[in-house]
Amino acid sequence: MRTSLTTLQKMVESNEKIAILTCYDATFARILENSGIDALLVGDSLGNVLQGENTTLSVTLDDMIYHTRSVARGTDKVLIITDMPFGSYQASPELAFKNACKIIAAGAQMVKIEGGHIMADTVQFLTRRGIPVCAHIGLTPQYIHHLGGYKLQGNSEKSAKLLLDEAKILERSGAGMLVMELIPAKLAEKITQTLSIPTIGIGAGNSCSGQVLVMHDMLGLSQGKKPRFIKDFMVEAKSIPAAVENYVLAVKAGRFPSSEHQF
């Protein structure tokens, strides 16, 4: 039986950290599942790490369906979360539902959408119709042109309050999980303490309910300058499964992210 959102909620209540990695194919999906990962994110980051694009904006719905189906075929136990790509949900809740249904049919158990209060109606529309939603605030890659680049969010009193308010609104709207990307650790801790749903950090400190990294980054395969929140777990491992196991253990023990990986 697959891990469910209820399982993750119970982990939060028992103070067990949640370990998540991105995944895009059946082979790695099986490796990650067997190495103890709790959930897999079929991320639109595939645009960067698989397709060589500079942003995630060119990733299509068909891309996400294809890779979701591949990951689902390679797993039996883990929860599968899939990003809804740019343009597939922003226009209306009805469009979001139509496209989310296709992703769920491909094998996902949850969809992830980016944005704050502007997405509240969409989150409510989806969840009331049986589609679990993971919300995503902070640095939201699909809004990269609006944000002016990949940079820390919520680092002023005003912007921090806005992110806290956004998180509350998304939870009230029915979001079952919240990803927080590239925000100060203290703010992420406050949001986590305020909400009852799992919070998943990426560059958001170690007080979140769990962590997620892009698999290629965790395996030391990323190119160019590495963001501060990345750790290469292959350095101290002799194999990919060992690196994944080390990541899972580090997350669950609260050793990752350490102070050097947060803001």
Q: Which of 166, 171, 181, 245 is catalytic?
A: 181
Q: Specify whether 181 is catalytic.
A: yes
> pLDDT at position 223, please?
79
Number of structural domains (the chain) is 1
CATH number at residue 247: 3.20.20.60
45 is in an annotated binding site: yes
Averages of pLDDT over each 10 residues, the chain, 263 residues: 94 97 98 98 97 96 98 98 98 98 98 97 98 98 89 95 98 98 98 98 98 97 87 96 98 96 93
User: 11, 3, 39, 10: which is closest to 248 by C-alpha?
Assistant: 39
62 is in an annotated binding site: no
Contact 12, 209 (CB under 8 A): yes
Q: How many CB atoms lie within 10 A of CB 92?
A: 12
Per-residue model confidence as pLDDT tens digits over 129-142 = 999 999 999 999 99
25 is in an annotated binding site: no
Q: How many CB atoms lie within 10 A of CB 250?
A: 19
Q: Give the alpha-carbon dihedral of 230, 205, 203, 12, to 10 degrees.
A: 100
E-assigned strand segments in the chain = 18-22, 39-42, 79-83, 110-114, 133-138, 177-181, 199-202, 210-213
> pLDDT at position 222, please?
84
Whether the pTM exceeds 0.95: the reply is yes
User: 118, 114, 127: which is closest to 88 by C-alpha?
Assistant: 114
Q: Measuring CA to CA, how many Å separate 186 from each of 30, 80, 81, 227, 228?
A: 35, 29, 26, 19, 16
112 is in an annotated binding site: yes
**Which residues form the domain of 44?**
5-261
Specify the residue for token string 């963001």: 227
Contact 230, 222 (CB under 8 A): yes
Question: What DSSP line would sit under 75-126, residue for residue?
Answer: -SSSEEEEEPPTTSSSS-HHHHHHHHHHHHHTT-SEEEEE-SGGGHHHHHHH
